[in-house]
Structure 1
């Protein structure tokens, strides 16, 4: 069939489906519905439900349509090639097409998944809220705030038809991960406290669920304490059993006990548990049994992408798919580097294993039932096309921005305040020294501190700005100096070092470890605040916190020199 004609048919059908509900007459209503679906599925269709596949591009090709119709996967993961440069409306239309192709082939509607963690891992950019890195959520230590962030994320995802978020990351924070930009967990973790990670992860998931989006805990049993990126090779976590259970695994246990429904298993080798050398957790009956029985997890288990180096260096994707399913996993994820041949071979391998009796029909139905139950819980069995002309209205990014301001107000951390100078009053003789590229500091702080001296400086400061900032600081009794990364940006660090630090409260827009740079410059620095972000919401919230419009509530999600996890000066607004 010519491609143009095929696309015209799809567009026409989608317009119809905006107004007509999916025909589910073959399905019973009530508790027997899943039984009826299972009874009417072929083995090929059941095997298809086990797979989260990937497709390149943002327009369906004839080959992709034929693949979806023949193999009927249970889920599709979206990657950069699917969404880069695409508007929310275009993404909505693309997802409508994906679902329509499946349902027209009498298949079960899809999980549509994406990595939407916030910070450095967020694939949806144009028209979407850019959520900050998770450490600011960790700094709130507040599940109610985390739940609100989850709601905002979920609202924007569900507005375009995404119903499955491959987030949050429940791996523990380590200093090495945050300070090394090449580490896979760099700027992706909530906290180093496993209890707090578990509670906040579960809260994020609850918030997403309220908007019809399924959250995913990852990467069980925990990626912390290894410097290996599993995209490239198998990562070994050499913790002893007791330590692993009390730290990395504990975070997942807490989240599971607080209602997490999906866990992604990483390609991580834990020799303290695993009896077979170099067996990744994603293919390990021992580690899946730990998750199912020791931690009591009854939900959906999905692998990390099986085209990652940690797997492909040892197994073919087809071999790994069979091994993972035999280990007890429910859903097998394919990443962007798995081509059609890889994915078809994997699905054929599992199908052949069922047909030969290597995998029993009972075992197959067990996982398919979990998948269908989750789809039914989130009303995905009754899929209807979304109207792309109202996508922006559904997203409500203005509400998301307000949520982020509240997040930063709760998370900005006042670590040190030598003379109890905070919050500032409108009559204080204070200078605000800030990056010129962040004008909201001037616009917002001036509302609450109208008499302050305001002096900006460039990202790479000019010589004259050294003199201007020093003069502003000398005229004031206290100087609030805002910078991003003076450990990396040498000229900016030199500008800060030239200031009279004995009257400076330093604000890091980067991370708490900048406290150590400041202490090295002058141990008598008056104060230290960390915002964890340069975003507009962070700028607004900082002005509100230092002026007393919002209370000081943030707590360090990681230990730094002289301060433990949970440290932070608290106040009433």
Structure 2
């Protein structure tokens, strides 16, 4: 759940916003820079760069986190966190001290309580920057992938995640997602989204990508990536394809370790490169790097983020990409294993990066880049090339012309009924029916009136209003059943299993949510003991569809690809027979006893006759 308070931040009126915007345009015009159109010509941007100090140039390269719901008056706990981690009290102080070119929003940093507050925060950040001498608009970004990664929650519209979209196989739906999601982000002052994920997930053990990927077929992934990019372009928000050169075939999480991709150059060209080529062809505004090593592309042992052969040799020169390149977070372990935090930003710039995202120690990183230029390791011309790309993007997004947003735009755009209906409509095409022995689904309101919903309640992403068991039970109740929820967790104890079994005996059917089931998981024991009661059991894999391989005894198994509200409601409609299942597996499911063999192939998905049972 999200706190919907806005603190002490006053909401600007439309007149105030328009007046402030006019003032910014006038100030830029007074210095010889008129931005009547969204796209400024390079000559004027270069002239603007020439007026910047070296310190201002270095600041433009950084995109930083900051705690607080307000740019000038955050809560005391957020002030304390900012002082500890950044050495400033507020977002306004961050902008003034380091002249950062971008700020990234996180829910855990209390930046995204609710849409009106987000708009106020965005306006406050822009004002703090534009009030400075030679002030420039700030490019505000976030990770709004949808599905299990969403930094802005309800009442904003939340869509199914990438693998669910992959199961729906509709480029139109991907394009609609980008268009609506982008419009809502833009209304809140967020102009850069770190989405879509362009990784081809071919490793079922992948701990960090998984359902964040559209699937395992590079051509299908490429088509959906390009479609989503087109949607974002239409909305006026910069999309970001990630994680170059490809993070789909690893069993190591780059947040906590240093993955190595062993693909040959030929395999990389046929698999990993395909969606990135499609994104570039679609006009992608930014591409995010991966903190992993691909020896076939660069055998130096450096992560791709710090690899000139990969970022300049392949991405810039071979693929012809001249947009903004942004690192993944520089606080992740994958980029910190070989070099210190002072060297990482310098080496990233030498490799070809433009934006340095979220360094663990901004002061150290900022000073390291400054020193590298003063000592001649980096040239000022090299910085200017990246700043030009960044300013081109800001101009193309209209930030020089209209850096502020209005609350009326939030009201007209964010979480409106038409957008919510589109999200539900798209979700209805994604739920995948993997098993349906004996035609157990759809359940009947006459024969299965009382339903017990049990299972895992993992930490809720922003797209949820409560524990998945509760959301699913409420959705089934709204469809005419009497459903009760009992959370059993991801590792149910013997006592918890016993409670679930006892409750199942009083139900007509059981729906159990499974979450990343492994060979030794006690979730398997839970499901088997529920089956032993003789009650019909329907399982829903609420994250990875691979769960079904561990539970072959289940007679009806669905994949929702996430436990967000929009996907759980769609699963409930399939269970109740209100919606015919249409999703097709976008990844193959290997056998549990022999992972080299396929249990369910890519494209598998059952349905049942288009009729409603009672």
* Fold shared, TM-score > 0.5 on shorter chain: yes
**Which deviates more, 144-153 or 459-468?**
459-468
Residue aligning to 1:359:
379
Counterpart mapping for 1:139-178 below 5 A: 139-177=167-205
Name the CA distance, whole Å, in 2 between partners of 1:165 and 1:85. 14
Name the CA distance, whole Å, in 2 between partners of 1:126 and 1:506. 27
Q: CA deviation at 1:408?
A: 1.9
Work out whether residues 14 and 96 of structure 1, in 8 Å CA contact, stay in contact via their aligned partners in 2.
no
- The counterpart of 1:93, out of the listed 115, 120, 123, is 120
Residue aligning to 1:565:
602
- The counterpart of 2:370, out of the listed 305, 325, 348, is 348
Name the CA distance, whole Å, in 1 between partners of 2:124 and 2:204. 43
Q: TM-score, normalised by structure 1?
A: 0.82
- For the aligned residue pairs, the C-alpha RMSD in angstroms reads 3.6
Work out whether residues 432 and 606 of structure 2, in 8 Å CA contact, stay in contact via their aligned partners in 1.
yes
- The counterpart of 1:34, out of the listed 34, 38, 42, is 42
Work out whether residues 18 and 384 of structure 1, in 8 Å CA contact, stay in contact via their aligned partners in 2.
no
Work out whether residues 189 and 405 of structure 2, in 8 Å CA contact, stay in contact via their aligned partners in 1.
yes
- The counterpart of 1:123, out of the listed 141, 151, 155, is 151
- Pair 1:279-2:299 in alignment: no
**Residues 158-202 of structure 1: per-residue CA shift (max 9 Å, x gap):** 222111112222223255446xxxx33354333122222222223
- The counterpart of 1:396, out of the listed 415, 435, 439, is 415
SS in 2 for 1:198: helix
Q: CA deviation at 1:142?
A: 1.4
Counterpart mapping for 1:43-58 below 5 A: 43-44=53-54, 45-58=56-69
Name the CA distance, whole Å, in 1 between partners of 2:441 and 2:94. 62
Distance 1:309 1:500, change over 3 A: same
- The counterpart of 1:528, out of the listed 557, 575, 586, is 557
Residue aligning to 2:350:
326
SS in 2 for 1:301: strand
Q: CA deviation at 1:468?
A: 7.0
Residue aligning to 2:77:
none
SS in 1 for 2:339: coil
Name the CA distance, whole Å, in 1 between partners of 2:105 and 2:485. 41
Work out whether residues 168 and 204 of structure 1, in 8 Å CA contact, stay in contact via their aligned partners in 2.
yes
Distance 1:358 1:385, change over 3 A: closer
- Pair 1:440-2:474 in alignment: yes
Name the CA distance, whole Å, in 1 between partners of 2:181 and 2:262. 35
Work out whether residues 148 and 563 of structure 2, in 8 Å CA contact, stay in contact via their aligned partners in 1.
no
Mind listing any 5+ residue stretches in structure 2 that lack a counterpart? Answer: 1-7, 73-87, 454-468, 489-495, 592-598
Work out whether residues 83 and 123 of structure 1, in 8 Å CA contact, stay in contact via their aligned partners in 2.
no
Work out whether residues 147 and 562 of structure 2, in 8 Å CA contact, stay in contact via their aligned partners in 1.
no
Name the CA distance, whole Å, in 1 between partners of 2:485 and 2:67. 44
Residue aligning to 1:555:
584
Work out whether residues 245 and 290 of structure 2, in 8 Å CA contact, stay in contact via their aligned partners in 1.
yes
SS in 2 for 1:135: helix
Q: CA deviation at 1:280?
A: 1.4
- The counterpart of 1:416, out of the listed 435, 447, 450, is 435
Distance 1:76 1:499, change over 3 A: same
Q: CA deviation at 1:210?
A: 2.6
Name the CA distance, whole Å, in 1 between partners of 2:442 and 2:333. 51
**Which deviates more, 547-556 or 90-99?**
547-556
SS in 2 for 1:52: strand
**Which deviates more, 195-204 or 414-423?**
414-423
- The counterpart of 2:232, out of the listed 208, 214, 223, is 208
- Pair 1:221-2:240 in alignment: no
Mind listing any 5+ residue stretches in structure 1 that lack a counterpart? Answer: 1-7, 447-452, 474-478
Counterpart mapping for 1:177-192 below 5 A: 177=205, 183-185=207-209, 187-192=211-216
Name the CA distance, whole Å, in 2 between partners of 1:166 and 1:316. 25
**Residues 78-124 of structure 1: per-residue CA shift (max 9 Å, x gap):** 23454257333222222211111221223221110112223443333
Q: CA deviation at 1:49?
A: 2.8
Q: TM-score, normalised by structure 2?
A: 0.77
Residue aligning to 2:595:
none
Work out whether residues 431 and 583 of structure 2, in 8 Å CA contact, stay in contact via their aligned partners in 1.
yes
The alignment covers a number of residue pairs equal to 539
- The counterpart of 2:549, out of the listed 490, 506, 516, is 516
Distance 1:545 1:80, change over 3 A: closer
- Pair 1:260-2:279 in alignment: no
- Pair 1:498-2:569 in alignment: no
Distance 1:571 1:49, change over 3 A: farther
Name the CA distance, whole Å, in 2 between partners of 1:468 and 1:12. 53
Name the CA distance, whole Å, in 2 between partners of 1:393 and 1:10. 19
Name the CA distance, whole Å, in 2 between partners of 1:217 and 1:123. 17
Residue aligning to 2:401:
382
Name the CA distance, whole Å, in 2 between partners of 1:321 and 1:332. 7
**Which deviates more, 167-176 or 217-226?**
167-176
- The counterpart of 2:104, out of the listed 73, 77, 83, is 77
SS in 2 for 1:373: helix
